[in-house]
Structure 1
């Protein structure tokens, strides 16, 4: 395994095997799919709308959402478009398709049809196939993205891209380490080289497909340098396979200064490393995910969390914000709940978008600190791989040079411990084997010690536990045990 573009014959051999994984693979015809995309109205092309938003400094809103039954999925997206006012639309994939368990998904579809309603969350796109995916695309007037958490998304990509989706989420790290326990990085990086090369093939024939690595990772208290490092690595892997449109994502931590600094530094770092490796003609945009951790059960408090995320996204000038709902803590949200989250978010964005950007010495220090930490990780990974980012990533995870907090994967060291400082910014209580210098380590220790003095307790694992639950309990920084 190397970070090298797949040869045409190698890809074609793989494609013949992948398309046989489920019967709907027979419905994929790449040449016909290219023709279908080229006939698509411009307003349905994800990359085109992102490029316009980036040029205008606008922040656009996208929800999540997926259902088992095709007509319910169409009804959901039409509602989010017409009533919710979404700028982009999702199709979130079901858990069985994510695990390539298509036979079981088929039974759920049949049982849902008999019941007259969807029995599971998420849309089983592989089972439905190309024609059904096109029914979704043709039923709405907005760009549609495939959202999922699939370690092996090769067949899913084949079917949904041929089906007219113009954005595909995920990556070899971000769809493995936070989601799976026993899947190796060698396997998932290889799987996602296939996905990215497929996107590259569309690109070479004049079809713009946007790729979005999953930024939040495990979602709770992920320090910016960790998610940034993964984003940069997955951008480099995608670019090598011919991807030209990439959206780098970041999950809200909660401290306004840190969140703005993180979004601004993310695309700057992406552009820096893509230029370093001489990838040309790239368009990078940013994605801000509203709080991915525990939510308050109270609906009014939940709207407060959503609105705070909208403020951060708007002030940071993120190109897109992924919207949460006021019912996050209560189960699968209704279409009305999803729409309410979109409306609340867009109200904030519209109020903030013309205001001057927040600038301060503290913001610049935070941004530069994130860059220093991210470069330390990515550069060490490149060193471990003798310049090859794919090889270095595998070795880096083995050594704990890159380590994702609270991840289930046995290929992840799991040694780092993040915690909030007194202002709510996420710092390292334990930096594990991350390749930081003394100055960086002391900075984190000092900020955490300051919180300890204010709260009258020694920094410890109890602080980490408190912070995991704090927003759900109505605070950003937990003072004492919550």
Structure 2
């Protein structure tokens, strides 16, 4: 396992993941959040008892995510179910009871949220005894809010320093960048890798010493393998003595509608995690295309992932050194162009986005240049169609035919059609149980 060595006596989320990885295990994690504490606890208990190496998740509701605590409070008063756990409104006493005897060194729990302005949420998190969370100044601003990026970056700087200074003794806070998941099915991997590295550098500059870099499974497993390996190289180059690991996300775009297709896609994400050296995987379920999954469906996905992770890799997934080098060069060029703008990483990020040196395709946030465009080539790889003002080599650009609207819709449904058998493609990695 690459990454930094464990510190003696360490006790954080990253330590748990590293220890399990050193034992040859893949840590798997659901997306899960319920408004009622008793249901949230039952979900966490089921995750802990699953036949897999797991960590828990508490995902907050959409009101809490945007700071509308009054609406969350009113929903609790009227008994209206929410689409996540209102951590702030439940308060520290309820939250500590939720976690008592459950969360600990052998079962870490991560708070997931989606907030561009997370200060109050992080205060509630620390008061509840949680020390692992995720997000970032760019990745939780551009796709999820209209908050000006400069404001979000200041808020995240203050929030990181809050986490660094108020963490419990012996339990440093772990912070995961969501940068590798920025509209992932529409972003060629160099940009995702660069954003994840840059956000981790931002966290470190503001006192966080335990981080993880994210990457979302995309449309071609060989390209994804090259991307995650390039990410690991960049992390080793830029993060120094910081503790870090890589988390892979099962595909985050339009999911297959058939159970067999969804299970094949999940199984392929597990194989990608194993082949790339990613230590943790955030899973999705066979119900993703229809509705919010139940606890039972989440457990089925976790146990399937655990089963596939324990099997020998018969797929022979491999990436060429040339493709890995190309992703590494593109990502490193974007990182260096950003860092050259200012010694403060947050200010550098704001300037890079404002100048279009970092440009997320199809992202409508007012601060994003939105000049970059991507396409899926004949091999299923995500490529640049237009790079705007980003410092990306012309040799990386491809051309496409057809109307822009058709091409976008075609891209969004590409994986769904491929894994449901509408398109020919690499869906051979199936468990017998998946049909």
Contact between 1:289 and 1:322, CA under 8 Å: does it hold in 2?
A: yes
Residues 179 and 408 of structure 1 are in contact (CA less than 8 Å); yes or no, is this contact kept in structure 2? no
Q: CA deviation at 1:204?
A: 8.8
1:357 is displaced (CA, Å) by 8.2
1:423 corresponds in structure 2 to: 379
Choose which of 395, 414, 417 in structure 2 pairs with 1:442. Answer: 395
Q: Distance in 1 between matches of 2:354 and 2:213?
A: 24
Give CA deviations for 1:119-153 in whole Å, capped at 9, x if unaligned. 22100001012122222222425110001100111
- Stretch deviating more after TM superposition (79-88 or 148-157): 79-88
Which of 22, 37, 41 aligns to 1:55? It is: 22
Q: What does residue range 361-372 of structure 1 map to in structure 2 within 5 Å?
A: 362=320, 364-372=321-329
Contact kept? 1:254, 1:425, Cα under 8 Å: yes
Question: Do 1:57 and 1:317's aligned partners in 2 also have CA atoms closer than 8 Å?
Answer: no
Instruction: Tell me the secondary structure at the aligned position of residue 28 of structure 2.
Output: strand
Helix, strand or coil at the partner of 1:220: helix
Give the counterpart of 1:247 among 212, 236, 244: 212
Q: Is the 8 A contact 2:374 2:385 kept in 1?
A: yes
Higher mean displacement: 253-262 or 200-209: 200-209
Matched with 1:212 is: 176
Q: Structure 1 residue 477: deviation in Å?
A: 11
Which secondary structure state, in structure 2, belongs to the residue aligned with residue 194 of structure 1? helix
**d(CA) in 2 for partners of 1:430 and 1:414?**
10
Aligned twin of 2:126: 161
Gapped regions of structure 2 (runs ≥ 5): 1-8, 425-435
Structure 2 counterpart of 1:267:
232
Provide the rounded CA distance (Å) in 1 between the counterparts of 2:212 and 2:348.
23
Query: Does 1:66 find its partner at 2:33?
Result: yes
Q: How does 1:197-208 map to 2 (within 5 A)?
A: 197-202=161-166, 205-208=169-172
Q: Which residue of 2 aligns with 1:80?
A: 47
Conserved 8 A contact 1:323-1:342: yes
Using the size of structure 2 for normalisation, the TM-score is 0.88
**Deviation of residue 103 (structure 1)?**
0.9
The answer for the alignment partner of 1:306 in structure 2 is 266
How far residue 43 of structure 1 moved from its aligned partner, in angstroms, is 11
Which of 1 and 2 has greater Rg? Answer: 1
Is the CA contact 2:219–2:415 (under 8 Å) kept in the aligned structure 1?
A: no
Report the CA distance between 1:202 and its aligned residue.
4.4
User: Quick one: structure 1 residues 50 and 132, their matched pair in 2 at CA, closer, same or farther if it must change by over 3 Å?
Assistant: same
Aligned to 2:13: 46
Tell me if structure 2 keeps the 8 A contact 1:254–1:309: no
Q: Match of 2:310, SS?
A: helix
Residues in 1 aligned to 2:232 and 2:173: alpha-carbon distance in whole angstroms: 19
Q: Deviations over 1:335-364 (max 9, x none)?
A: 1111111111111111147x898555x2x2
* 1:171 equivalent in structure 2: 136
Distance of aligned partners of 1:260 and 1:165 in 2 relative to their CA distance in 1, 3 Å threshold: same
- Which residue of 1 is the match for residue 293 of structure 2? 333
3-state SS, counterpart of residue 159 of structure 1: helix
In the alignment, the residues of structure 2 paired with residue 98 and residue 218 of structure 1 have an alpha-carbon distance, to the nearest angstrom, of 18
Deviation of 1:321 (Å) = 0.2
| The one of 132, 155, 158 aligned to 1:194 | 158
Question: Take 1:433 and 1:478, find their aligned partners in 2: how far apart are those partners?
Answer: 36
Distance 2:138 2:420 in 1: 28
- Offset, 1:206: 2.8
- Does the Cα contact within 8 Å between 2:175 and 2:210 map onto a contact in 1? yes
Instruction: Judging by fraction of residues, say which structure has more helix.
Output: 1
Q: Contact between 1:63 and 1:322, CA under 8 Å: does it hold in 2?
A: yes
The alpha carbon displacement at 1:51 in A equals 2.3
My pick for the range that moved more, 151-160 or 212-221, is: 212-221
Equivalent-residue separation in structure 2 for 1:130 and 1:84 (angstroms) = 31
Per-residue deviation, 1:47: 2.3
Tell me which residue corresponds to 2:351: 395
Which residue of 2 is the match for residue 101 of structure 1? 68
Q: Identify if the C-alpha distance between structure 1 residues 327 and 383 changes in structure 2 by more than 3 Å, giving closer, same or farther.
A: same
Alpha-carbon RMSD: 2.5
Q: Are the aligned partners of 1:66 and 1:121 in contact in 2 as well (CA < 8 Å)?
A: yes
Verify the 8 A CA contact 1:80 1:86 in the aligned structure 2. Answer: no
Deviations 1:439-466 (A, max 9, x none): xx22442xxx6xx7xxxx6696633321
Deviation at 1:98, TM superposition (A): 0.5
Deviation digits for residues 173-192 of structure 1 (CA, Å, limit 9, x no counterpart): 11101101x21111111111
Kept in 2: contact 1:271–1:284 (CA 8 A): no
2:424 is the alignment partner of 1:471 = no
TM-score (norm 1): 0.80
CA gap of 1:381–1:359, structure 2 versus 1, over 3 A, is same
* Count of matched residue pairs: 412
* 1:422 to partner: Cα distance: 1.7
Given candidates 194, 206, 215, the residue that maps to 1:229 is 194
Cα distance in structure 2, aligned partners of 1:82 and 1:192: 34
